[in-house]
Amino acid sequence: MAVLLVPVLLFEEWGWVPLAALAARLARLPLWARAENWLRSLPPWGGLLAFFLPVVLLLPVKVLALFLFGRGHAASGVTVLIVAKLIGTAFVARIFQLVEPALMRIPLFARWYPRWKAWKDHVLTLVRESRPWRVVRAFNRRMHRLWRRLRGEVS
């Protein structure tokens, strides 16, 4: 089961903080800032509902991607899915940051969220300690150094 979740966990781990930060920049807009203040003030069950709202709102977009796949437009379908995942992660992460204090007042959530986080962190630690992960990381570091050298020589 964990093996099937690893790609999702890795994406969420990679994207959660930077995408939430990107969504937080929208708070510079007065209407968005008011929406964030409203989200912070929600009661626990309202916070839970707000947390799942982007998932529900993106469902038609995912159906559109399936439609595109069905019509033979695989590249368009993949593009729609990737964009939906990025946008969805940005908003879910930001909303979670805003409503987490309220969610932690729900006894079931307060009990299971730390367990979920500990399990997720354990799985990601195992992945990061694995030989394939270390090999890919080393390769990426070498490519990054090479790229920086090439850019420095061209400039």
Rounded to the nearest 5 percent, the helix, strand and coil shares of the chain are 90, 0, 10
Cα–Cα distance for residue pair 141/133, rounded to 1 Å:
12
Dump pLDDT digits (tens) for 34-57: 999 999 999 999 999 998 888 888
Mean pLDDT over the full length of the chain = 88
- Check: pTM over 0.85? Answer yes or no: no
Q: What is the mean pLDDT of residues 122-141?
A: 88
Query: H or E stretch including 99?
Result: helix 74-103
What is the per-residue pLDDT for 102?
A: 95
